[in-house]
Amino acid sequence: MTGETGLGMVAADAAAIPLAARTRGLRKVYRGTVAVDHVDLDVPMGAVLGMLGPNGSGKTTTIRMLLGLVMPTAGEVELLGHRLPDGAAAALPEVGALVESPGFHSFLSGRENLLRLAAAEPHLHSGRIPAAVSESLERVGLTGAANRRYKGYSLGMKQRLGLAAALLVPRRFVILDEPTNGLDPAGTREVRSVIADLHAAGTTVLVSSHLLAEVEATCTHVAVLNQGTVVAQGELAELLDSGNAGLLITTPEITLAVDALRDNRIPARAVPDGVRADLTATTAPAVVETLVRAGVPVHEVRRDRTGLEDLFARLTEDGAAAEAAEFDLALPIPEEAR
């Protein structure tokens, strides 16, 4: 019943990939404003899908419809094989979610807040509640602050508690809307490790984010939203390959390097600290071998990290949107705060 079988099936038959979530023709109109339109989203079982998009692109609205919180104006949603909204009772117990800013009672402690949510969890046996809550707090590193009032929590602690609530029970599908919002670098790393653990256990994960690096580091799949529609989706590797993959080589002998690569029919050009080699027709080891043979001193070789950013910029059509996403790195703003 878990994602492990799902993963196996992905490999076995790509034509009929089991999906953790699927939307068709999703449309939502808020008082005359179209928030989301024609969204056909597929979340493969066992995948870690990163949902990207500039602010106001419809990420949160899509997630809210995926969870049955918001009724779509048109279109259909399938969650773990159950049609929403009727199948919500069957699907939601197996789904953990952190949507928008975490919602807790400020006058209760973190533990009490979780106890309250645990009481509402269909899959949790009453006798298991205290243990499940403690484990969940432990998992997000809040054990020390568990008995403090939520009111006194920092933004990061609130976010962690939200994560703890989403992971109160083992889930088949976990949806995290901006999980690293407000977290310090250490917290961000921990979230990444949680996502990796979930992935390893076969859980399907959907992460919405505007932090491209985070998506690139943790996701197997990507869906890019812009202006309320999905402009691209698929496996991360495939999408990146469709873009312009490259290798950045730091070297003092820039001219020598460019010449050596071009002699071997590898497109290359000079960049500030070295050379950028195009990987469309070759592989990284081939590039390095060519340079070493030509006697070029190679100080550092790395993948051109701008791949997803380029892709994102191209898909969202205007560079300003990508810049806005970049800007959010420094100033996290809760998306689509309604």
Partner 1 sequence: MTAMTLGEIQRPDARRAPLGRLLRSELRMVLRRPRTLILVGLLALVPVIAGIGIWIAADASANSGNSVDEGLAGLVDGNGLLLPVFALVIGLNMLLPLTGAMLAADALAGEAASGTMRTLLLAPVSRSRLLAVKAFGVATVTLFVVALMAFTGTIAGVILLGGDGMMTMSGTTLPLGEALGRILLTVLLVTVQVWALAAVALAVSAWTEHPLIVVVVALGVVILSGVLSAIPALDWLDPVLMTTSWMGIPEVIRDPLPTGTLTEGVLRAACYIVIGYSLALSRMLSRDG
Site string for partner 1, 110-129 (x = CB under 8 A): --x--xxx-xxxxxxxx-x-
Site string for partner 1, 202-221 (x = CB under 8 A): x-------------------
50's CB contacts (< 8 A; 6+ apart) are 207, 208, 209, 214, 215, 216, 218, 219, 221, 222, 223, 236
Structure token digits, residue 14:
């790509």
Pick one of 20, 67, 176, 225: the residue that binds partner 1 (CB under 8 A). Answer: 67
By CB under 8 A, the residues from 94 to 113 that bind partner 1 are 95, 97, 99-108, 112
Nearest residue (CB) to partner 1, 134 versus 264: 134
Tokens of 201: 């256990």
Q: Which phi and psi (to 5°) does residue 129 adopt?
A: -55, -55
Binding positions for partner 1, 150-179, rule CB under 8 A = 165, 167, 169-170
Among 14, 15, 16, 200, binds partner 1 (CB under 8 A): 200
**Beta pairing class for 221-226 and 48-52:** parallel
CB under 8 Å to 144, separation ≥6 — which residues?
none
Number of residues forming the site for partner 1 (CB under 8 A): 55
In the bound complex, what is the minimum distance in angstroms from residue 56's beta carbon to partner 1? 17
Please, what is the Cα angle at 233 between 175 and 225, to 5 degrees?
70
Give the residue, chosen from 39, 70, 249, 268, that forms a contact with partner 1 under the rule CB under 8 A. Answer: 70
Under DSSP, the state recorded for 164 is H
- Spell out a b/e string for 144-169, using b for 16 or more CB atoms within 10 Å of the CB, else e: ebbeeebeebeebbbbbbbbbbbbbb
- Residues in contact with partner 1 by CB under 8 A are 2, 64, 67-71, 88-90, 92-93, 95, 97, 99-108, 112, 115-117, 119-126, 128, 132, 135, 138-141, 165, 167, 169-170, 190, 193-194, 197-198, 200-202
